[in-house]
Structure formats: C-alpha cells, structure tokens
Amino acid sequence: MVERSELARTLCTALATAAGRADGSVTGGTSMLDVSMDSLTVVTALSQVEAAYGFELTPEDLIAAFSASRVGDVVELLHTKIEG
C-alpha cells in the first residue's frame, strides 16, 4: 500500500526539481499553472514517479493529469492508479 503523503512528497519533489524550484516550494495545494512547466517537463516528472512506484500511466491518465487544477488532484489520480 502506498501512502498518499509519501506519493505527494515524491510528486512534489519531482515537479519542483523539473521546474528548477526549491524543494518544498510545490505542495498539494499548488496550482498546476503556478508550477510553470511545459508538457514535456511534466511528463518527465510523472515518469520519475512511475519509476519510483512501478506503474505506467496511460495516455488518458496523462490527459487527466494535465487537466488537473492542483498538484493534489494529480496525487489523487496517481494514488488511484497505483492502488487500483
């Protein structure tokens, strides 16, 4: 079982690193628009999370992630994907 808080930390760190932001500057409440990344950078960050947890996002999952309002919404999407 993957804890949401652990998954959130992993995603927030991956997004902050990919965006060149300070660790801790991206939280679950951060707007995806405020992260200021292009789609390739977001996919790179999501790929790091996939590798860390051993799952694969479908194209539909990626569309849902790009449509998310907040980073926390992406965490919920990923948690649902991992836990089935």
Per-residue model confidence as pLDDT tens digits over 24-70 = 999 999 999 888 888 898 999 999 999 999 999 999 999 999 999 99
For residues 79 and 62, give the distance between their C-alpha atoms in angstroms, rounded to a whole number.
14
CA distance 48 to 62: 14
The pLDDT, as a whole number, for residue 57 is 96
| For the chain, domain boundaries | 4-83
Class of the CATH-defined domain 4-83: mainly alpha
Q: Beta strands of 1-84 (E only): which ranges?
A: none
- Within 8 A by CB and 6+ apart from 41, the residues are 18, 19
pTM, to two decimals = 0.93
